[in-house]
Amino acid sequence: MTTALANATRAALRDTQRALTQQRRGRVLLLTAAAMLGAVLLLRLLLALPLLARTLPRPGAGDGSSTVVMLAVAALSVLVAVAVLRARRAEWAEPPLSRVALWIEEQLEGTPTHALVTWTELAGDASASLAPNDLLNQAASGIVARAADAGTLPRALSRRRWTLWRGPLLFVAGATVVLFTGELWLRGAGARTIRTVTGFDGRTPPAPASPTGGLGRLRIRVEAPRYAGIPDSVFEDVSSLRALSGSRVVVEGEGLGPDATLAIVGTDSTRRAAPSELSAEPVTADGWRLRLVAQDVPLALTMRRGEASRLLIVEGVRDSLPRVSLEAPARDSVFREPRGVLALEARATDDWGVASASFELVVSSGEGERFTVRTVHIGVRQLAPTARRANWRGTLDLAALGLGPGDVVHLRAVARDAHPLATREYGTSETRAFRIARPAEYDSVAVEPAPPPAVDSSLLSQRMLLMLTERLDARQKRMARAEVLRESLRLARDQQKLRLAVGDVVFQRLSGESSAEHAHYAGDGHDHGVDQQGGKLAMSTNSSTGMLEEGNDSPIVAINKPLLEAYNAMWDAGRALEQGDPHAAIPAMRRALEAIERSRAATRLYLRGRPPQVIVDLAKVRLTGKDTGQTRPRSSRLAIPTVSAQRDARLVAVAAQLAQDTSAAGNGARMARDTVLLLRAEALADDPAFAAALGRLLDAMGAGGDVTNALVAARRVLGNVRRTELTPWSNGGPP
C-alpha cells in the first residue's frame, strides 16, 4: 500500500515536472522566434526607407539585390536565434523535483506544510539516511490528491503557461501581422511605381498595366547600350517603360503584324515623326516583331490591327554629360611675370561613368586686331568607365607655356563619359583666365578702376569684431550686467562704423562715381538701385533686373548682393549688441563675415578703358523735334491658352469619355487610357507631379472600378489645388 502511494506520488510529480519543463522550453522557443521576427522587422524597415524616399527605381539595381537581401535576413535571423538560445539555455533544463513539489504545494490553499517537498527529498535521494515513513507518505499523497482534486493543478498549469507565454506570444503575433501587412504595402508601393512606369532596372511588373486591346499579349525587350552596362530587361504587356537613350526596344507579339507609327511626344501636345527607324519584321508564321531606338524624348508607338490598337510610351532617359567643377585655382589672376607653377584640381560626376578627364588650356597671344591661339591639354587621365565620380590633379607651369606680356590663358577642366559616339559632347567646368600683365598698363591713364582707397585704420574688421563678441559672450556669465552692457555697446559702435563703411562701398559702386563729388546715402532722394526699409537695404525693384546703362561696367549684381546682405546682417548684429545681448549678435556677425568673403570672391576687375557713352538724339536724327503726338493704342489680343489649360481640357474630356463608356475594355475607355498615357508622356519634362498623378490614374484604370478619386486628384495636381488632409477627427467634409 505504502509503495503504491509512493509510486502514485512520484508519477504525479513527474507529470507536473514534464508539464513545467514544456512550458519553460516553449517560452524559450517563443522568445527566440520573437527575437528573430524583431530582427527581420528591423532589417525590413531599414531596407524599406529608400523606397519611401524615392519616386522611381534607381538605375542599375538588378534582380541579384533581392537574393542578397534574403540571404542577409536569413543570416541575421540565425545569428539572433543562436544568441537567444545561448542566453536562455538555463531555462531549457528540467526543474528539480523538489522545486516541482514546492510549486504544487504553493498552488494549494492554506499555508504550505512542505510535506511533499520533504517526501521528495527523502524519497528521491538514495544516499539519505532517512526514508519517508508512512505518515510522510500519506501526507505527500494527500497533497497530490488535493492538487489533482477539482482540477486545481491543471488550472494552475494553464495559468502559469499563459503567464510565461503571453509576452513573447503577443510580440510574435504582432510582429507577424506588421511584417505581413508591411510587405503587402511595400509590394503595392513597388507595384505602383513600376506598373506603368517600368524602370530599366530589370524589374518586371507584377500585373499587366492594360488590357491586351485585341492585339494579344506583347513581349517587350529593352537592350540598353553596351557602354552603360545594364542587363537586358523583358516586360510583359506594359503600356509605358523607361529606357536609357540609345537603348534598342524590341516589341514582339502574336498574329499578323500591326500597322505601327512612331512619334515624338512634345510637351505642348504636338506629335512629330520620330527620326529613328522603326522596323517591323515577321518572326514566325504567327508572330511579329518591331524594333525602335529610345531617344532623349518620350516616344509614342501606336500599333493598329483592324479596329484594335495599342499605345506604348517609351520614355527615353537622357545620358547626361559629366558635371565638372574646377576646384583649383579658385579664381582668375593677373600675373606680373610668366613664372610659377599652379596646382590644378578638378572633379567630375556622371550618371553612368566618367571615361576620361583632362585640363584644357587655350592660350591667346597678341593685342588689338591680331591674336593667335593655341590649345593645350594637360593632365589627361583615362578612367574606368564605371567610375561615377572622378577627381584629378595636375600642375601648370607658366614658364613652360612661353607666355609673353598680354597673353591670356583660359583654363578649364574637361571630362568625357563612356558614350561611344564620336561627336558626343563633353562636360566642361567653368573657365579661369590668367593674364600676364603688360609693363605699360600700370601707368596708363586709361586703366580703371583707380587704386583702392586708403583703408580707414580706425575700423575694426568684421572678423575681429566677431572674435571680440565671442570672447565677451564666453565671459558674460562671470561679469556684472553693467560691464557686459558697456562692452557690448562699444562693440555695437564699432559694428555700426563698419556697417556705414560697407554702405559707402555699396553706394559708390551703384553710382559709379566718386563719393567726393557727390555723396550718396540711403534716402537722399534719388535712385541708387536700393531701397531702405527699416534701417536695412534691399535691392530696388527697378534695378533688380541686372540691367546696366552702357558705359557702366560695374558688375553690380555680383558685388552688391553679398554686400547688401553683409550690411543687413551687420544691422541685426548691431541691434543685438545695443541691447547687451552678444550671444544673439554672433550668428548675424557670422553671416556678415561670410557675405563679405563672398563679395570679395565675386569682385572681378576689368582693366579696360571705359567705352564712351553715346546717347543718340532721336529728335535730331528723325528731324522731327519733340514728339508730342499720340500713338494709336494697340488692341489687346486674346491670350493664348496655356499648356495647363489645354491639359485640363483634355483631362475633362477623358472624364467624359470614361463616364460614357463604363466598361473597362470598351473603345471609349481605351481611347481615354491612351489619352492619359500621352498626357503623362508630355508632362514628364515640365510637370513631373502631374505626370505622377496621371500614373496613379493609369493604375486605377488598369485595376478597374471607380477612377473618380484618381481623376479628381490629377486635376487638383494640375491646378495646384491643395486640400487639407482629412483625419478621423475631421467629421466628414468634401472628398
Q: Which residues bind another protein (CB under 8 A)?
A: 362, 364, 369, 371-373, 408, 410, 412, 425, 428, 430-431, 433, 541-542, 545-553, 555, 557, 608, 611-618, 621-622, 631, 633-634
Nearer to another protein, 142 or 555 (CB): 555
Query: Which C-beta is closer to another protein: that of 482 or that of 618?
Result: 618
The DSSP call for residue 701 is H
From residue 163, give the alpha-carbon distance in Å to each of 103, 109, 170, 419, 614.
Answer: 15, 20, 12, 67, 98
Per the structure block, which three cell numbers stand in for 275? Answer: 527620326
| Cα three-residue angle 264-266-271, rounded to 5 degrees | 55
Rank residues 365 and 476 by Cβ distance to another protein and give the closer one. 365
- Cα–Cα dist 361/396, whole Å: 10
Record the cell numbers describing residue 171, joined without a space: 510580440
Min dist CB 608 to another protein, Å, is 7
CB closer to another protein out of 395 and 624: 624
Report the sign of the C-alpha dihedral through residues 213, 215, 219, 225, in that order.
negative
Nearer to another protein, 436 or 651 (CB): 436
Beta bridge partners of 198: 241
Tell me how far, at minimum, the Cβ of 320 lies from another protein, in Å. 13
Residue carrying C-alpha cell 513539489: 101
CB-wise, 48 or 602, nearer to another protein? 602
Amino acid at 105: E
Q: Which residues of 494-528 are buried (b: 16+ CB within 10 A; e: fewer)?
A: bbbebbeebbbbbbbbbbeeeeeeeebebeeeeeb
- Decide whether 2 or 431 has the Cβ nearer to another protein: 431
Is 661 exposed, middle or buried, given 0-12, 13-18 or 19+ CB atoms closer than 10 A?
middle
- CA separation, residue 723 to residues 87, 207, 648, 649, 731 (Å): 53, 32, 19, 22, 15
The nearer residue to another protein, 518 or 604, going by C-beta atoms, is: 604
Cβ contact 715:694 at 8 Å: no
Minimum Å gap between C-beta 532 and another protein is 19
Q: List the end-to-end C-alpha distance of the chain, in Å, as a whole number.
A: 83
CB of 194 to another protein, least distance (A): 32
Give the nearest distance from C-beta 438 to another protein in angstroms. Answer: 14
Cβ-based nearer residue to another protein, 60 or 427: 427
We find the least distance from the C-beta atom of residue 365 to another protein, in angstroms, to be 9
For another protein, the closer of residues 382 and 431 by Cβ is 431
In whole angstroms, what separates CA 32 from the centre of its chain? Answer: 38
**HSE-up (13 A, CA, CB side) for residue 407:** 20
Cβ 721 to another protein shortest distance, Å: 23
Minimum distance, C-beta of residue 364 to another protein, in the bound complex (Å): 5
Q: What is the DSSP letter of 37?
A: H
CB of 340 to another protein, least distance (A): 22
Which of residues 127 and 631 has its CB atom nearest to another protein in the complex? 631
Nearest to 500 by CA among 539, 470, 458, 468: 458
> Min. distance of Cβ 34 from another protein in angstroms?
56
Of 406 and 582, nearer to another protein (C-beta) is: 406
Beta strand 432-436 pairing with 530-533 = unpaired
Return the H-helix or E-strand segment holding 215: none
- Please give the C-alpha separations between residue 375 and each of 152, 398, 402, 442, in angstroms, as whole numbers: 100, 14, 13, 29
Q: Is the dihedral of CA 57, 60, 66, 68 positive or negative?
A: negative
| C-alpha distances in Å from residue 197, one per residue of 190, 299, 532, 715 | 11, 14, 52, 20
Whole-number minimum distance, CB 584 to another protein, in Å? 35
Relative orientation angle of helices 152-194 and 134-148, to the nearest 10 degrees: 40
Taking the complex as a whole, how short is the minimal distance between the CB of residue 435 and another protein, in angstroms? 10
Give dist(CA 570, CA 491) in Å, integer.
Answer: 11
Cell of 542: 527697378
Residues 349 and 388 sit within 8 Å (Cβ to Cβ): yes
Q: How far is the CB of 542 from another protein (least distance, A)?
A: 6
**Cell numbers describing residue 274:** 520620330
What's phi and psi for 102, nearest 5 deg? -60, -40
611 φ, ψ to 5°? -65, 150
If the CB atoms of residues 151 and 611 are measured against another protein, the closer one turns out to be 611
Nearer to another protein, 458 or 545 (CB): 545
For the CB of residue 525, give the shortest distance to another protein in the complex, in Å. 19
